[in-house]
Amino acid sequence: MEKVYDLAIIGAGPAGMTAAIYAARASLSVVMIERGAPGGQMVNTFEIENYTGFETITGPELSMKMFEHAQAAGAEYAYGNVENVVIAEDGTKVIDCGDHQIHAKTIIIATGTKHRLLNVPGESELSGRGISWCAVCDGAFFRGKKVVVIGGGDSAVEEAIYLAGLVEKVTIVHRRDELRAQKILQKRAFADEKIEFVWDSVVESFEEANGKLGAVKIKNTKTGEISEIEADGAFIYIGLDPITDMIKELGVTDDAGYVKVDHAMMTPVEGVFAAGDVISKELRQVVTAVNDGAIAAQSAFKYIETNLR
Ligand code: FAD
Ligand code: NAP
């Protein structure tokens, strides 16, 4: 007989791991299913300075603390790349991980988001040969060199500041003349002598030199002028899209692909909850992911107590 968990959580970022802690402490049998490393986006974040209780903590350290906490509470951890979720006739959620399936009475979708692509010539060809979406992973390759950061949000500005500590020069290319990032990050970036800004500009293409990235071709949106910035590296931070392809059949997403939930993190489908960056909401942070995870687990617990006991 296949084991049927009380709760299966897809994704072990801060939302999923917090849900696991709350569910395990409520005596639910719970498994976190993760295709990468526990921690989600925190794994690739150098320093986190806005998570309550920690003036500063590295992303990998906070990831490990949350993971150890979830395991100590009794949550199971399983490797799996969830490809599909279907609901059996008796209401059991069948989670298809390709080579194996996991069964659960309830699920929490906590799959977060993925980096958006620019979709310009040279981007895919030079990916891993100068173009990256992770400064913490790849920044060290560009020590003493020149890099371009594309975007104007928290990610672009924060990662540009991190890169400025390693490289000779960072050029931030932004499509407007005003940043979207938090003021505290803006202040730091403007004060950093290694960071230069190119405003009102979009990337036309990434140009190759000797098999690697050599330059970023940009266009000024106001004048139409085309120019090139010499660069050994380019980091693309133009926003994120929700990871919801595996739950398409459930019909719980909005037009942008985010999961629709109510105040209890419940989707329109019975026994299906969601938490963290993947839900439709205003503020995507570690602290809000953790909040959603706790509420979703509590709602799953109440759903089981009310309907399935
Ligand atoms: P995620 O952290 O994205 O975790 C989702 C998990 O689900 C991932 O581990 C993923 O592998 C897994 N997953 C996805 N699909 C599947 C699947 N099909 N099968 C199995 N597993 C799957 N927030 C702050 O508060 N402070 C910061 O300083 C900060 N810095 C940031 C820096 C950067 C560069 C970025 C991009 C984000 C930053 N954030 C920061 C935002 C913060 O990281 C997110 O809000 C938070 O991680 C969201 O948590 P989550 O659990 O919802 O999703
Ligand atoms: P974001 O806030 O959506 O910002 C994306 C940036 O890229 C914007 O400046 C946007 O320009 C620009 N952009 C979008 N599409 C573009 C395109 N096709 N070409 C050129 N530029 C484009 O994304 P993010 O910065 O990755 O942040 C995502 C979430 O994570 C946010 O909720 C953020 O607060 C959170 N986060 C938090 C921290 C932190 O707390 N320290 C750090 C990183 C991320 P416009 O401004 O013109 O729209």
Q: What is the pLDDT of residues 95-113, one digit of tens each?
A: 999 999 999 999 999 999 9
137 is catalytic: yes
Report the pLDDT value the prediction gives residue 2, as an integer from 0 to 100: 85
Does ligand 2 come within 6 angstroms of the Cβ of 34?
Answer: no
Q: Is the pLDDT confidence value at 309 over 90?
A: no
Does ligand 1 come within 6 angstroms of the Cβ of 307?
Answer: no
Ranking 14-18, 185-189, 257-261, 305-309 by mean pLDDT, the lowest is 305-309
Does ligand 1 come within 6 angstroms of the Cβ of 41?
Answer: yes
Report the pLDDT value the prediction gives residue 85, as an integer from 0 to 100: 97
99 is catalytic: no
For residue 284, give the ligand 2 atom closest to its CA: 32
Q: How deeply is 72 buried, as exposed, middle or buried, from its count of CB atoms within 10 A (0-12, 13-18, 19+)?
A: exposed
Instruction: Identify the residue whose C-alpha is closest to ligand 1 atom 26.
Output: 48
Residue type, 24: A
* pLDDT tier, 208 (very low <50, low <70, confident <90, very high otherwise): very high
The two structure tokens encoding residue 188? 């730091």
134 is catalytic: yes
Strand duo 101-109 + 93-96: pairing: antiparallel
Does ligand 1 come within 6 angstroms of the Cβ of 112?
Answer: yes
Alpha helices in 86-204 (DSSP H): 135-138, 154-164, 183-191
Does ligand 2 come within 6 angstroms of the Cβ of 180?
Answer: yes
Report the pLDDT value the prediction gives residue 237, as an integer from 0 to 100: 98
What are 22-81's pLDDT values in tens digits? 999 999 999 999 999 999 999 989 889 999 999 999 999 999 999 999 999 999 999 999
Handedness of CA 125, 204, 113, 95 (dihedral sign): negative
Measured CA to CA, the distance from residue 171 to residue 164 in angstroms comes to 10
Average pLDDT over residues 248-272: 96
Report the pLDDT value the prediction gives residue 307, as an integer from 0 to 100: 94
Does ligand 2 come within 6 angstroms of the Cβ of 155?
Answer: yes
Alpha helices in 77-175 (DSSP H): 135-138, 154-164
Pocket test for ligand 2, best of 154, 218, 282 (most atoms within 8 A of CB): 154
Report the pLDDT value the prediction gives residue 197, as an integer from 0 to 100: 98
Measured CA to CA, the distance from residue 88 to residue 33 in angstroms comes to 19
Residue 224: CB atoms within 10 A of its CB come to: 7
Measured CA to CA, the distance from residue 166 to residue 262 in angstroms comes to 44
Residue 97 C-alpha to ligand 2 middle, in angstroms?
31
Report the pLDDT value the prediction gives residue 241, as an integer from 0 to 100: 96
Could you tell me which of 231, 226, 260, 257 has the C-alpha nearest to residue 244?
A: 257
Query: What single-letter DSSP state applies at residue 252?
Result: -
Residue 156: CB atoms within 10 A of its CB come to: 26
* Predicted TM-score (pTM) above 0.85: yes
The two structure tokens encoding residue 294? 């706790």
Q: Which ligand is in closest contact with the Cα of 184?
A: 2
The two structure tokens encoding residue 293? 């995870």
Measured CA to CA, the distance from residue 6 to residue 301 in angstroms comes to 8
Residue 188 C-alpha to ligand 2 middle, in angstroms?
17
Of 138, 154, 232, 292, the active-site residue reads 138
Residue type, 197: F
Q: By three-state DSSP, how is residue 102 classified?
A: strand
Q: Is the pLDDT confidence value at 1 over 80?
A: no
